[in-house]
Chain A
Amino acid sequence: MSGVRTLLGLGLLVAGSRLPRIKSQTIACRWGPTWWGPQRLNSGGRWDSEVMASTAVKYLSQEEAQAVDQELFNEYQFSVDQLMELAGLSCATAIAKAYPPTSMSRSPPTVLVICGPGNNGGDGLVCARHLKLFGYEPTIYYPKRPNKPLFTALVTQCQKMDIPFLGEMPSEPTMIDELYELVVDAIFGFSFKGDVREPFHSILSILKGLTVPIASIDIPSGAGTQKVGQGRLGPYPPDSCPHQV
């Protein structure tokens, strides 16, 4: 049974000397000289927001997404903390727009945030914190924690804000469906390659059986690997990752 999936882009809009001059509307990650059609270039520089809304967003490949990241870190001197904070905040904002508290059954609405072992997991930690401030009741499952100050600090911030961390993953999808109204998938991001190792393989199998909506940060975790295959987390051809808000 398929539920609702929402893809949330990491997204930061960058306008700079090496990228074409762009006027932003929404938070999205953009790249390349070809994503505005010729009529845009001739419009005299004043973007009509309605026209922009209908312009297709370009999807980045994994290589492009990594290249954007590298440019932000190396040329623009953004720090990982900065971008992660902006990413997590914008994801929480997007989730709150897609699933406003007033549309949910519980007050406050309960959300399970599953954080993976890398930066996507870090985005999830930031997202959970902002969801709490927005009036949700998040719970985090964070089984593999990198031993780096960035991540330990993010965990502390969540713990100090009384966001519980589960000791183990609920073993049945129905258990999650009963306790939480929404699941945030912050397991794997655009850098993910290769096989899905435990415990995440089992986690992804459980998520496939959910009926509550899943919001994926950046990409549906596991997409792009042969092993995930069909179903609610795919299919996506290998080496291409949709990346959108």
Chain B
Amino acid sequence: MVEKDESGPGGISEEEAAQYDRQIRLWGLEAQKRLRASRVLLVGLRGLGAEVAKNLILAGVRGLTLLDHQQVSQEDTRAQFLIPVGSLGRNRAEASLERAQNLNPMVDVKADPESVESKSQEFFTQFDAVCLTCCSRESMVRINQICHKNGIKFFTGDVFGYHGYMFADLGDHEFVEEKPKVAKVTTGVEDGPEAKRARLDPAETTMVKKVSGESPGGIWGGQTPKNQR
């Protein structure tokens, strides 16, 4: 795994700035640094798990632990693009490790062949976020309670053919919402001579910080659906 250089301007290395450029332009440098500092646990490496792993690794999290006690089956070879040909019978997490790591050497990717049900409470507290797939209801409830108690972001989801679901319990958290900037009569400070006329620039937006007061139980999609103006 490539060491990250924290000493670059902005707190990330030039290599990272170049690689993450297109996403930094979307969610900002601050968000990228937070991703870069977070450790995530991913349980279940079937098709859905592989997708989630790919997305998290490409985003540039600090570390991702792939946890799966199952072995690679025939079905897995069709839907899971991290597992190389000829891996039938291998542990799924371990079989996925190499391809996953190659997606982004700057992420610390680990494989754990144990069952999630055998993990103690302490195990989960090393993570900032936990994502479960292919888990039994009992497991989901148990782990959700552990996460909620410890302020760990909790996600779970699964797919069934053309159907699927995702659930998130983010506890009390802060988030930002994008709002349009309201037109102001400028006094020529920002712009050129024409600035004196009031100009509504709908493309200008501002990020507004909000705090969620969500009670345990989580919310759909991980965001408040309320449309606040």
A in complex with B: no
Question: Which residues of chain A have a CB within 8 Å of any CB of chain B?
Answer: none
B interface vs A, CB < 8 Å? none
